[in-house]
């Protein structure tokens, strides 16, 4: 009988974290009877009653949690006598709160995603970066976004908030005024309407109102990567930055902030992408022009090669399985 693996997901909406779990699920089935427990996640669902019956049985079980509320629920089951291996992933780069650190110490193994996260955690952990479904995130130069009239697209994907750097991006986007066949498409959930108005003031100031498009958060993100020639990740902080890896897998020319999330591990500057200092809109403007003029023509192909070699979901799953089996 195979051991059981259960990934928990107690969250009101789908996020990049959700996608990171869904990406690896298919690769566990040879080694584990695999389930997800919670809401807003795609995969083989397990009910609460079935979960309890497994946890309180003699079946060898691994439960992988991703948030504090999930860890607390599993620790309650453990207090009541359930026997299972508890794995917890830390998804934030910041120094953890006292509560988070306390909960993580209760896990049998702790996973982090990037070097800075591993260092800031302050407790023993194993680093396993996220991976991309490279069979799905593929280039397709024929793909278009119907609502965008310009021929060429610069894409920014993710939450629309100050920490994600859209202010910096729009300051640099004044280059669009002299390149009428280029558009900037920003896909993501806006956290605060006031911030969106702040962005629109900059757009109006640069007179690029007809070249900037806002698209609400969508799960169907692949066509946007495929339609884009350039993807910009101007964030000041990231837990990982799955967007950057996914865009590279689609052969986009990615411009990202150096030493933020996994950007500097994914990107070799000027070879498979471009790096700039967070907040430096002038540097970003220069790189946008460089990428728009295709001064490094093979950057997209080199980007996908990097993802195929080192950052696939299959490779992530193999590394996770090694952690599961080491307990």
The pairing of strands 230-233 and 212-215 is unpaired
What percentage of the chain reaches a pLDDT higher than 70?
A: 100
Residue 295: its pLDDT value, please?
Answer: 83
How far are the Cα atoms of 57, 130, 240, 290, 313 from residue 300, in angstroms, in the given order? 50, 20, 20, 14, 19
Residue 200: its pLDDT value, please?
Answer: 96
Average pLDDT, stretch 244-270?
97
Residue 15: its pLDDT value, please?
Answer: 87
Torsion, CA 196, CA 197, CA 201, CA 206, rounded to 10: 30
Average pLDDT, stretch 295-323?
96
Hey, what domains does the chain have and what are their CATH numbers? 4-131+312-325 (3.40.50.2000), 152-310 (3.40.50.2000)
Q: Among 91-95, 165-169, 286-290, whose mean pLDDT is lowest?
A: 91-95
In the numeric block, the tokens 């865009």 are attached to: 247
Nearest one of 123, 109, 138, 121 to 319, comparing CA atoms: 109
Put residue 261 in one of left, alpha, beta given phi > 0 → left and psi -120 to 50 → alpha: left
Give yes or no for a contact between 302 and 308, defined as CB atoms under 8 angstroms apart: no
pLDDT tens readout for residues 14-53: 888 999 999 999 999 999 999 999 999 999 999 999 999 9
Q: What pTM did the predictor assign?
A: 0.91
Q: Is the pLDDT of residue 274 over 90?
A: yes
Nearest one of 161, 292, 174, 295 to 234, comparing CA atoms: 161
Give yes or no for a contact between 186 and 249, defined as CB atoms under 8 angstroms apart: no
pLDDT band for position 94 (50/70/90)? Answer: confident
Q: How far apart are CA 219 and CA 241, in angstroms?
A: 16
Average pLDDT, stretch 44-73?
97
Q: Is the pLDDT of residue 297 over 90?
A: no
């Amino acid at each position: 009988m195979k051991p059981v693996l259960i990934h928990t997901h107690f969250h009101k909406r789908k996020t990049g974290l959700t996608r990171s779990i869904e990406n690896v699920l298919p690769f566990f089935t040879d080694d584990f009877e695999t389930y997800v427990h919670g809401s807003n996640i795609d995969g083989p669902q397990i009910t609460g009653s079935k979960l309890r019956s497994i946890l309180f049985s003699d079946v060898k079980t691994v439960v992988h949690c991703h948030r504090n509320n999930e860890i607390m629920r599993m620790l309650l089951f453990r207090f009541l006598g359930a026997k299972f291996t508890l794995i917890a992933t830390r998804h934030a780069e910041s120094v953890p709160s006292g509560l988070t650190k306390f909960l993580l110490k209760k896990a049998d193994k702790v996973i982090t995603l990037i070097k800075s996260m591993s260092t800031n955690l302050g407790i023993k952990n194993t680093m396993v970066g996220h991976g991309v479904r490279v069979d799905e995130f593929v280039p397709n130069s024929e793909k278009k976004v119907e609502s965008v009239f310009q021929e060429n697209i610069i894409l920014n994907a993710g939450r629309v908030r100050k920490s994600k750097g859209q202010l910096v991006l729009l300051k640099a986007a004044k280059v669009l005024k002299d390149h009428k066949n280029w558009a900037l498409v920003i896909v993501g959930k806006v956290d605060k309407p006031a911030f969106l108005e702040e962005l629109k003031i900059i757009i109006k100031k640069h007179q690029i109102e007809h070249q900037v498009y806002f698209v609400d958060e969508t799960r169907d993100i692949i066509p946007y990567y495929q339609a884009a020639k350039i993807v910009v990740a101007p964030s000041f902080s990231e837990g990982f930055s799955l967007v950057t890896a996914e865009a590279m897998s689609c052969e986009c020319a990615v411009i990202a902030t150096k030493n933020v999330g996994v950007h500097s591990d994914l990107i070799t500057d000027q070879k498979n992408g471009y790096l700039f200092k967070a907040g430096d809109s002038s540097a970003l403007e220069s790189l946008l022009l460089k990428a728009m003029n295709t001064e490094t023509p093979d950057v997209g192909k080199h980007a996908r090669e990097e993802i195929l070699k080192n950052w696939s979901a299959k490779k992530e799953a193999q590394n996770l399985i090694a952690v599961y089996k080491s307990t």
